[in-house]
Structure formats: C-alpha cells, structure tokens
A and B are shown apart, each in its own frame.
Chain A
C-alpha cells in the first residue's frame, strides 16, 4: 500500500534556527514524486518544494531543502533560519507513478516558531 507517514504531530523551533520535519513514505513504484505543502492558519495550501525519485540532487527552494534518502524512503523537509511566519501546518505528499496530479498526503506536522 502507498502511504505517507509524518510522525511529529507538533514541533517547536526557536526563531533563526534550522528545523527538520520528518516524512517517510511507502511505495513499490520505481518512479514517484514527493512534495511538501505549507498550510498557515489562514487555511490555504501553499506548495513549497518537489523531489523526483530519480533526481540525483536534493531539491532546494530558498530556505527550504528536501533531505531525500531513497534507500530509507524518507523525504525530510529542512527549513533554515526559521521565521515567525513559518509557523504553520506542513504536509508531506507523494504522487504515485503515472497518477497525474493525484497526491497521497501525510497527517501533517504543526510547526511553531518561538521568538
């Protein structure tokens, strides 16, 4: 079965420090995509970063980077230099092979950034 697991329901981080949000996935497909979305308290879903299963390098987008470890089936999100505006719910998601845009989501991790 294809599944995304986020084991951290909630996390705290001090402003300006880095934080890692964990995500593990389960799939037997050889090709897949991994995504992270941010959901602030206002409720909208904001795309952050994408990693393809065959990408050789870890994806980076500004302060966001994805620590992709294929053998461990993990796709952790690293946020560097945390800001108060980073306080939000974060969702990891996976797109199975040839499934268009259909995503399977994890349960989410609520991140709180302390001043």
Chain B
C-alpha cells in the first residue's frame, strides 16, 4: 500500500543545531506540504512543493527550508533550531498540481515531535 512516512518520530535537540526532518511518500503525488501544529493555532503551513525543484514559502517559513530533488521526498531543515520551533511537524501530500481542483485530499504522515532545549 502507498504511504507517507516521517522520520524521526521524536527528536530532542539543542538550540542552534541544524535539524532535518524527513518525509517520504509512495503515492507518486506531485504536491507535498509541511505543517506545524501548536496548541491554539491548529496547523500552519511552513513550506510546500508542487513538483520536483519547486518550493514555496508558507505562512510560517522563517527559520525553515526545504528542497525537492525527486517526487518522493521533501525534507524539512531547521538551519539553527530555536525553542520557538518546538512543535509537532506534519508532512502531507496530495495528487494533481497547482491548478488541481476537486477533493484533492491531503494525506498526512504520522507526525514528528521536535523538542528544542
């Protein structure tokens, strides 16, 4: 079965360190997204991609970067982790492309819980 996997599921790091969260999907979806979930804020979009070599900033992109070198992967990098980046991070994917419409349902990974001390 197709799936979307995130790793690591849990990580503790220190302020100032670089951290990379991996996201791998086997749905062959064009669209991939990174969200963070914080209490009282729901899910907020960090970065997204509509295809290989395409990346776009979301609502809360400061301090984060992504790259898309193939269809399957969209790693999220925190260049210099800050305590404010302690959160649960969700990767998601969907079919179609930027102009897709209809019920392009977002399929989510299980989430990565990051703690920055």
Report A's interface with B, CB cutoff 8 A: 4, 6, 31, 33, 35, 43-45, 47, 50, 52, 91, 93, 95, 98-108
Is the C-beta of B22 less than 8 angstroms from some C-beta in chain A? no
B31 close to A100 (CB less than 8 A):
yes
Chain A residue nearest to B41 (CB atoms) is A107
B93 close to A101 (CB less than 8 A):
yes
Is the C-beta of B2 less than 8 angstroms from some C-beta in chain A? no
Chain A residue nearest to B35 (CB atoms) is A105
**Which segment of B62-70, B74-82, B97-105 sits at the interface?**
B97-105
Chain B residue nearest to A106 (CB atoms) is B42
Is the C-beta of B43 less than 8 angstroms from some C-beta in chain A? yes
Question: Which residues of chain A are near B88, meaning CB under 8 Å?
Answer: 43
Docked Cα-Cα span, A35 to B102, in Å, equals 11
A105 close to B43 (CB less than 8 A):
yes
Question: Given contacts A33-B102, A33-B103, A45-B108, are A100 and B42 in contact (CB under 8 A)?
Answer: no
Docked Cα-Cα span, A95 to B94, in Å, equals 12
Which of the four size classes fits the interface of chain B?
20 to 34
Which residue of the partner chain, among A31, A45, A105, contacts B101 with CB atoms under 8 Å? Answer: A31
Which residue of the partner chain, among A44, A100, A107, contacts B100 with CB atoms under 8 Å? Answer: A100
Question: Which residues of chain B are near A93, meaning CB under 8 Å?
Answer: 43
A99 close to B98 (CB less than 8 A):
yes
CB within 8 Å of A: which B15-41 residues: 30-31, 33, 35, 40-41
Question: Which residues of chain A are near B100, meaning CB under 8 Å?
Answer: 98, 100-101
Chain B residue nearest to A47 (CB atoms) is B105
Docked Cα-Cα span, A6 to B40, in Å, equals 11
B106 close to A101 (CB less than 8 A):
yes
Q: Which of A35, A45, A104, A106 has the most CB of B within 10 A?
A: A45
Is the C-beta of B116 less than 8 angstroms from some C-beta in chain A? no
A43 close to B99 (CB less than 8 A):
no
Which residue of the partner chain, among B44, B45, B98, B105, contacts A35 with CB atoms under 8 Å? Answer: B105
A101 close to B104 (CB less than 8 A):
yes
